[in-house]
Amino acid sequence: MTDHAARVDRLKDALERPTARYPLRRHKDDNYWDEVAVYADHVVLRGTTVPRYKTSGLSGDEWRISAKLVVTVSNQPVVERGFRDLNTLMTHAPGFIWACHDLNGWVDTVADSVKIVAKRKGVTLCELFGAVDGFYRVGVRKFHTFGDAAMGLLWHVVVANEQSTDWHHLSDAEERARCQQVGCAEPPVNVYRLKKLMDGSGRRCFFEPEYDFVGQYTWYCARHSRRGDCGFEDTDANLELVEGSGVAREHEGDESPSVLGGVVEVKLPPRDG
């Protein structure tokens, strides 16, 4: 079967699939993939999603995420860096890798095996062993070095998502079996309907769902069922419990209080008149 025929079959299956009972509303911070790795013999790159429950008496409470980059050589870390999310990590990791003197000899060293692995909630989305400029084909141009894979990390994963027949997109059942906190793969215990949805930014773009099939449900494990009061859409006040007890059980160390960075006092000269 050709790649085009396979994509047509996938689209046909999607159109004929019955509408989910609880159409999912993915979180605004969800980049879809939440974990990425590059394996090249002794050199390994890992990008992971790191959650924290931000609390603040001033701006409110909410779950936030960041991403952590760790590159190791023979299990020894040589690059460690934090980023705002995984896509930002995948975009800028090549620059930090290139600037790392401990990696200079490894970026272009031919390895026996090189591959990229991207995951969502513990499920493998793709394993990439090669790419070609323009249209993606697994194995047409094999990755020979760590640099082949790492220097175009985001591009390789995005193109695989768009064009590869080997990409695994999570089914409705697979999503329903996993908490919708970004990066969490635990089974959900509470299902919620979002009373209003954000379409843009600001209070004027906050509307009730117009159609039943529009994604307007989400579900969380006990650890992530408390959503806080910081935003508009992802808040306790905007979630209507439709299944489960609604009980939240955070883990010790989840809470991360905000710290006041300081106060800047500006003295303006008196206005004339």
Note down pLDDT in tens along the chain; length 273 residues.
Answer: 566 676 666 656 655 555 557 899 999 999 999 999 999 999 999 999 999 999 998 889 999 999 999 999 999 999 999 999 999 999 999 999 988 877 778 888 889 999 999 999 999 999 998 864 544 444 456 899 999 999 999 999 998 898 877 899 999 999 999 999 999 999 999 999 999 998 876 667 888 887 777 889 999 999 999 999 998 899 999 999 999 999 999 888 888 887 766 677 888 888 776
Residue with tokens 């039943």: 212
pLDDT number for residue 13: 63
DSSP 225-266: ----SSSSSSSGGGEEEEES-----PPTT-EEE---------
Secondary structure of residue 173 in the 3-state scheme: helix
Per-residue model confidence (pLDDT) at position 73: 93
Taking 3-state DSSP, the helix, strand and coil percentages for the chain, each rounded to the nearest 5, stand at 20, 30, 50
Tell me how many degrees the CA angle 8-9-14 measures, rounded to the nearest 5. 100
In order of 31, 80, 113, 127, the CA distances from 183 in angstroms are 10, 19, 27, 19
- Phi/psi at 210 (nearest 5 deg)? -85, -30
Helices (H), the chain: 3-16, 86-99, 146-150, 153-163, 172-176
DSSP class of residue 202 equals S
| DSSP summary character for residue 9 | H
* Chain centre distance of CA 9: 27
Q: Give pTM, 2 decimals.
A: 0.82
Question: Distance between CA 108 and CA 257 in Å, rounded?
Answer: 43
Of the candidates 50, 28, 36, 23, which has an alpha carbon nearest to the alpha carbon of residue 183? 50
